[in-house]
Structure 1
């Protein structure tokens, strides 16, 4: 793999961000019906750029009995998940020093994307993002991979993609990307040539 001719695309949750628990998982356990329906409707719309998540949060808050301001509630949600995985982040920094152009390839809505880039600091270690809200489609849809390839103006096989979802990896491979399932940073480092086999 040549960083001069290839692009490195990384999922965020489960790869760069690895909290012990996600706030969404916590809400799903506590309010399975209400939160599940909200995720299938409001969150999907926000994460494909069709709506603003903060406009839809008050309805969820009512259903789960949460009072207060939607922005404050979402800040709590975001802060809960601010757990960067230092070894993976360090590996990405090393790859960029070797010339890799690195982008985030993630299913995210606009506010969390900005938070991850600016507050968590992922913007300082990447060259840009292909968050689903900006692409208009989510992984693992074929449209997502096709549009990202088009925006990078490259051949599909020039994209090196890592994700912790087997479904997303399979869809990426079907689109012609060179895709790997992220299991741990040691495997990532070996495949990317940072450590000897």
Structure 2
């Protein structure tokens, strides 16, 4: 079995449980904004720039809301979004804590923009459970790109063979494997220790 030195852990769908219907399921009832409008006017045209750090969340969201939901500010919507999309998988986190207690570093590796990354790390307290966070807007690339893995190696000083990614997206798992990392597709169907052992990690 390989001796794992650091496990890179995805956030959405792994550390954070997906909310039935998504975080915006009750958006129209709660805040009077159609999720379809938000998708068509904000996420569709602006999200790629925001999540890769080329534009700020509030910079792009504010004008959209001013036109389509003037009763809301971008900070109102962000607060609602972040709170609705924040159910931690405490069972997995306990298993990760046990792994960390054995000397394995835990890092978050996630596709986030700056505002939610700060919320996850600070307000939600993931900084107390992980050693570092590597996210798309800070790095300028996604986990489906080879550059992401090279940058994490450079930041941490670990070699590819020392690292593994725990992720619920097959494309990211494939990209990690192509970069020489260990890679584990997380479904939540089995305990973490069993999943890691199945993939050959001590």
Instruction: Give the TM bin, normalised by the shorter chain.
Output: 0.7 to 0.9
The more displaced of 58-67 and 131-140 is 58-67
| 8 Å Cα contact 2:184-2:196 kept in structure 1 | no
Q: Distance in 1 between matches of 2:190 and 2:6?
A: 20
Q: How many residues were matched structurally?
A: 189
In structure 2, the residue matched to 1:131 is 135
Q: Distance in 2 between matches of 1:168 and 1:36?
A: 26
| 8 Å Cα contact 1:7-1:160 kept in structure 2 | yes
- CA distance 1:173–1:37, change in 2 (3 Å): farther
| 8 Å Cα contact 1:103-1:126 kept in structure 2 | yes
Unaligned runs of 5+ in 2: 28-33, 198-202
| 8 Å Cα contact 1:161-1:179 kept in structure 2 | yes
- Are 1:73 and 2:74 matched, yes or no? no
Unaligned runs of 5+ in 1: none
TM-score, normalization by structure 1: 0.86
| 8 Å Cα contact 2:105-2:131 kept in structure 1 | yes
In structure 1, the residue matched to 2:7 is 8
- CA distance 1:24–1:156, change in 2 (3 Å): farther
Q: What's the CA shift for 1:37? A: 5.7
Aligned Cα RMSD in Å?
A: 2.1
Secondary structure of the 2:134 match is strand
Q: Specify which of 131, 139, 145 is matched with residue 141 of structure 1.
A: 145
| 8 Å Cα contact 2:66-2:72 kept in structure 1 | no
The more displaced of 140-149 and 168-177 is 140-149
Secondary structure of the 1:129 match is strand
Q: Distance in 1 between matches of 2:71 and 2:11?
A: 30
In structure 1, the residue matched to 2:61 is 57
- CA distance 1:34–1:121, change in 2 (3 Å): closer
| 8 Å Cα contact 2:66-2:73 kept in structure 1 | no
| 8 Å Cα contact 2:111-2:143 kept in structure 1 | yes
Runs ≥4 residues deviating over 6 A? none
| 8 Å Cα contact 2:14-2:167 kept in structure 1 | yes
TM-score, normalization by structure 2: 0.84
Q: Distance in 2 between matches of 1:31 and 1:62?
A: 16
Q: Distance in 2 between matches of 1:191 and 1:127?
A: 22
Secondary structure of the 1:23 match is coil
The more displaced of 96-105 and 61-70 is 61-70
The more displaced of 117-126 and 18-27 is 18-27
- CA distance 1:83–1:34, change in 2 (3 Å): closer
